[in-house]
Structure 1
C-alpha cells in the first residue's frame, strides 16, 4: 500500500513538472496577434490596429496574422476589393490567410486567390493552433 501511494505521488510530481517545463517553452518575449474576420472591408480597421500595435509594442511586436473565412471569402479574388489591403498588409507586416474550408464550401476558384494570401486547410483550426502558441486572438 505504501509503495502504491509513493508511486502515485512520484508520478504526479513528474507530470506537473513536465507541464511546467512545456509552458515555459512558449516565447512570451514577443506579442503575436491573430484576427479571424468574415468580411474584406474589415481589413481596414484591422490593419490600422496592427500598425498601432506595432508602434506601441516596439521591439516586443511579433507576428500579426489575419484569417479570412465565411460566405464572403470570394471577395479576396476581386482585385478592386483586395488589392489595396494586400499592399497595406505587406507594409504593416501583416500576413493574410484564407480559409480553405470556406473557399471549398462557397466554391471559390483557388487559382484566383492572390499569391500574397496564404491558404490554410481550416481557418478556425489554424486560429486555435495559433492561440495554443500564445497568440492573442479576436474574431470579428
Structure 2
C-alpha cells in the first residue's frame, strides 16, 4: 500500500519486540511513535513504514534517514533530536558526544539538561534513535530499547 501523505494512526504488532508499534502521521510526516502492548482496535495496520519497520526488526539495515518527521518541540530540543538522527545504524554515542553533535557544550550543565530532556521526551523513538545513546535517558521503553540494540549489534 502506498501511504505517502497519510494522516492518522497506524500500528502493528511485532514479534521481535513482543508488542506493537503505533505511529502517528500528519500530512505524511511521522509525529509520534509509541509501543502499546497490542495493536489498538482503532489503528490501521497497513502502512509502508510499518512494512519497513518489520524488515528492520528482522535484521535488515535501515536508518530511516529519509522518513519525514514533524517535530512539535522547542527549537533547541529539535536541534538535539536532529543531531540524534545523524547517529548511524549500529553505532552509539555518549550523551556528551550527542551534546557536541548538537553544537552544545558538554561541560555546561544547562546544555546537558537540554540534551537529556530532549532524549527523555523524544516523540519519535526508532526514527529518532535514542536507543543509540549510551546511558540515556530514553523515551524508548527498556525492553524495546534492548531489542533495538540487539538488532543493531550494540
TM-score by length of 1: 0.24
Higher relative contact order at CA 8 Å, sep ≥6: structure 1 or structure 2?
Answer: 1
